[in-house]
Structure 1
Amino acid sequence: MFQSIYRAQDFWWIHLHRLTPLLSVSAMSWKLFVVLLVGFLAWAHHAFCPPKTRICGSTGGPPIKGPRIKLRDGRHLAYEEHGVPKERAKYKIILVHGFGLSKHEASIANTELSEQLDIHFVSFDRPGYGESDPDPKRTIKSTALDIEELGNQLGLGDKFYIIGNSMGGQVVWGCLKHIPHRLAGAALIAPVVNYWWLSFPPDLWSQAYHLQLPQDQWALRVAHHAPWLVYWWNTQKWFPCSSVVGGRPNFTAPDLKIISSFGGRSLHREYAMQQGVYESLHRDMMVGFGQWDFDPMKDLDDPFQDGRGSVHVWQGDEDGLVPVTLQRYIAEKLPWIRYHEVPNAGHLFAVADINSRKAILEELLLVGK
């Protein structure tokens, strides 16, 4: 019996010595796996998590040079005033800038109509842009409430007009939904559409969606279905990012002509993104193409049924960024909107054409009564 026990001990001792190299290799493999895992997690954190926002006025952040108001939640909103002094102004208009721009996008204020009609303009940096604090909880509704508070603190009266360009047009939709009682009139210039508004017929949606560059189709899918990937998608080097984020939008010939007239100037782009691209450009994509709390074609009513105001949509028929077919459909579903289609015009028609800017103001303030 004892011989059997001794033989068993010898057997396991001998084989344990044989397994020792294998165990050492296994331990080394495990250590290598841990090292690789830690390395991957470090890379993933760097790739997927945006860098800390450089908030204006904070240590190491950009300086605050212009006026700002303090909002209900402690954030600050930067603004700029144009036109005649508000004390003698007959009309007061808040301007909402587009994607990658800022309060300096106020060319519509630079017309002789400002003096002729006594117009006071207020432009502002949307949250995360320019000198306005970021809003990690930003939604279409929250920006509309920011605008209402801006009007209150600047003393623009019970009602004011609002004009939104491109991505700023989405903000105007939000104002029509959430603060219609504060509006005297509204104009949306080439407003960006959310392809996931359910009222779009599937065939029309599909046709318009596939007019976009393939890289933009993917970027929009990410923004809608996986917003937590937006930063990585637009900063990685494996696939093309959004053409707009990358500075190569799908501009058509009319737009390229306008851009060439600027001689390559950045139009204050550095100022607009000085706090970082995540809380400005990327947040815009997540909000603009994410899940909305309403569908404009289904959930909006005419805020001016008494005839004391009007809503206008202006759209170029050669816009390469916003399909004209979708804009026409929106206007058809909302017959109270006054739809203006500009022939031979792209996305930027209101930037350089003074006649278009004058027409927008005249229709909003005079004809639209």
Structure 2
Amino acid sequence: MADVARSRSTSWRDELMSLVEDTGVIFTDETLGISTPFMEPKRSDFTVRDINDGELAEPESFKDQVKEFAKAWGEMFLELGKGVKDIVQQSLLTDDSYIVIKCKGPIKKAGSRLRFLNDYLPEDRDPVHSWSVIFCVFFVALAVLMVNTKRDHVVSLVKKISTHPPSATRMLLPDGRYLAYLEQGVSCSTARQHVIVPHSFLSSRVAGIPGVKASLLEEFGIHLVTYDLPGFGESDPHPKRNLSSSAQDMLFLANSLGIYDKFWVLGFSSGAMHAWAALNYIPDQIRGAAMFSPMINPYDSSMTKEEISKTWENWLRRRKMMHYLARRFPKFLSYIYRRSFLSGKHGRLDNWFSWTLGNKDKGLTEDPRFEELWHRDVEESIRQGNVKPFIQEAVLHVTDWGFKLTNLAVRKKCPRKGFFTWFTFMHSHTEAECQWTGFQGPIHIWQGLDDQVVSPSMFDYVARVVPSIIMHKLPDEGHLSYFFLCDECHRQVFLTLFGTPIETTTTDEETQLLDIGATTKEQSSV
């Protein structure tokens, strides 16, 4: 029985071993015992290396942090875009949405008409994807071409604005302000004609009559006086100035210089605004006026709708915007002015003023003499670096002047008939006489027919409201060409205003009398 049991156990072991592959391990006949477990401390996977054994791990740099931060933001925006896309598809692009109902029909018609273009696409390409890529490439190429065409011209070096030492003569006004002025030509005591010139926007006393020769002024006996408007050049600013105060400054300047007789006033472009004010507020002191391409208020209520539309139609959009800002939001002009002529760098006149120049004006602005004169005038004009006087000047141009140009028209004003008139007649036994109103002196205007700055509609409006004005139409002349650096033009203007100059010849007896008079004057002064 024991043999049978041993054979059975042996056969069982053999069968089990036949199922398991030979591992090559040989077990001995030693009794297998159960050993006591040995507990070893488990080491952490994170070990700190010794400094001597190797280098420390480098900390994450700021650049890497920025990259990860940008990457995270990009992923957030991507998810946001997907969410917006889902919202649009679920709310706006459904069959019952307002946009789909209104646009589905036109888009379907346009798509059916343009479907033949899909024949030119590859067969394995989605038309929607293909056309979106084509349009994107087209717009990018168009933008590049537009940028290149604008920069084809040679970029000129930008000239910085220089500051010159003070050179003006100044006088004290009754309100405590100082007014800077410049005298040219003959002296005040020997002058046959006195001419006072208020300058235009972004100009100064330096301009006067640009390029006029001293010999020409002496030939006609002209005492030419130019002055800086308040806040321009070396004149003190006036916080509450208007066109009435401008006329009073002109009158006080004339009296202080000893011009007790009537004088002429000359205005160019926007400087004509101050000439118009002088004709209205101090007409008894003005002998006459000469204006070159004079500007008027484009919002004048006396203009007809047709005159207003013709005035604005040829202007650039930027110029229209500047007038609108000056009238409605003048504080915004400070930012624009500081980025243009108050930026410390010179620029082109037509860019700063948003003007369109004619052929002669373009040729004039390329003349080195004009560039030198223009730069010197601008440097003197912005000497103080204060933006408020320029804003004041721009606002004065487009707001109510305090008077109408129709007030300057010569009219006969008679007293109205009524009880008061009858009572006055019965009391004084004299009938009230009619009086002439308006400015009765000569007003000359020179206007270029190729002027792109002051439109002909302004010219026609002034002629309509002031019929006594003497018009001088100049074919092929622009806004600047007849007034700047033109000797023959200046002579022709003086001949028109003052007539042929008188040639003074003195005999020996007259010379002796003059010497005696001068000696007596010196002795009396001593």
TM-score normalised over the length of structure 2 = 0.54
Equivalent residue for 1:311, pick from 440, 443, 452: 443
Match of 1:102 in 2: 204
Counterparts of 1:113 and 1:322 in 2: how far apart (Å)? 28
Counterparts of 2:489 and 2:183 in 1: how far apart (Å)? 22
Q: Does the 8 Å CA contact 1:95/1:122 hold for their aligned counterparts?
A: yes
- When residues 302 and 132 of structure 1 are mapped into structure 2, their CA distance, relative to the original with a 3 A threshold, is farther
Counterparts of 2:194 and 2:475 in 1: how far apart (Å)? 29
Match of 1:254 in 2: 360
Equivalent residue for 1:281, pick from 385, 390, 393: 390
Quick check: 182-191 or 62-71, which moved more? 62-71
Quick check: 358-367 or 72-81, which moved more? 358-367
Counterparts of 1:308 and 1:144 in 2: how far apart (Å)? 18
CA deviation map 1:77-130 (0-9, x unaligned): 101110011111111111121221111112364264322221111111111111
Match of 2:409 in 1: 301
Q: Does the 8 Å CA contact 1:223/1:285 hold for their aligned counterparts?
A: yes
Counterparts of 2:351 and 2:259 in 1: how far apart (Å)? 34
Counterparts of 1:352 and 1:305 in 2: how far apart (Å)? 38
Counterparts of 1:83 and 1:291 in 2: how far apart (Å)? 36
Larger of the two Rg values belongs to structure: 2
Structure 2: which amino acid aligns with 1:92?
Answer: H
Counterparts of 2:388 and 2:327 in 1: how far apart (Å)? 16
Counterparts of 1:268 and 1:306 in 2: how far apart (Å)? 35
Counterparts of 1:91 and 1:306 in 2: how far apart (Å)? 23
Q: Does the 8 Å CA contact 2:409/2:438 hold for their aligned counterparts?
A: no
Q: CA deviation at 1:352?
A: 1.9
The equivalences for 1:75-90 within 5 A come to 75-90=177-192
- When residues 165 and 139 of structure 1 are mapped into structure 2, their CA distance, relative to the original with a 3 A threshold, is same
RMSD of aligned alpha carbons? 2.7
The percent of aligned pairs where both chains have the same amino acid is 28
Match of 2:319 in 1: 216
Q: CA deviation at 1:191?
A: 1.1
Equivalent residue for 1:113, pick from 190, 212, 216: 216
Counterparts of 2:243 and 2:188 in 1: how far apart (Å)? 27
In structure 2, runs of 5+ residues without a counterpart are: 1-162, 341-347, 412-435, 501-526
Structure 2: which amino acid aligns with 1:77?
Answer: L
Q: 1:101 aligns to what SS in structure 2?
A: coil
Equivalent residue for 1:66, pick from 165, 168, 174: 168
Equivalent residues, number: 302
| Residue 344 (str. 1) matches residue 476 (str. 2) | yes
Q: CA deviation at 1:187?
A: 0.7
Counterparts of 1:364 and 1:127 in 2: how far apart (Å)? 29
Structure 1: which amino acid aligns with 2:229?
Answer: R
- When residues 287 and 159 of structure 1 are mapped into structure 2, their CA distance, relative to the original with a 3 A threshold, is same
Match of 1:331 in 2: 463
Q: Does the 8 Å CA contact 2:185/2:214 hold for their aligned counterparts?
A: no
In structure 1, runs of 5+ residues without a counterpart are: 1-60
| Residue 230 (str. 1) matches residue 339 (str. 2) | no
Counterparts of 1:169 and 1:225 in 2: how far apart (Å)? 23
Q: 2:396 aligns to what SS in structure 1?
A: helix
Q: Does the 8 Å CA contact 1:251/1:347 hold for their aligned counterparts?
A: yes
Counterparts of 2:216 and 2:273 in 1: how far apart (Å)? 26
Structure 1: which amino acid aligns with 2:463?
Answer: A
Q: Does the 8 Å CA contact 2:232/2:384 hold for their aligned counterparts?
A: yes
Counterparts of 1:285 and 1:134 in 2: how far apart (Å)? 15
Q: CA deviation at 1:202?
A: 0.9
Counterparts of 1:277 and 1:214 in 2: how far apart (Å)? 26
Match of 1:21 in 2: none
The equivalences for 1:1-369 within 5 A come to 64-107=166-209, 109-110=212-213, 112-235=215-338, 246=352, 249-262=355-368, 264-265=371-372, 266-276=375-385, 278-296=387-405, 298-302=406-410, 309-348=441-480, 349-366=482-499
Structure 2: which amino acid aligns with 1:177?
Answer: N
Counterparts of 2:298 and 2:439 in 1: how far apart (Å)? 31
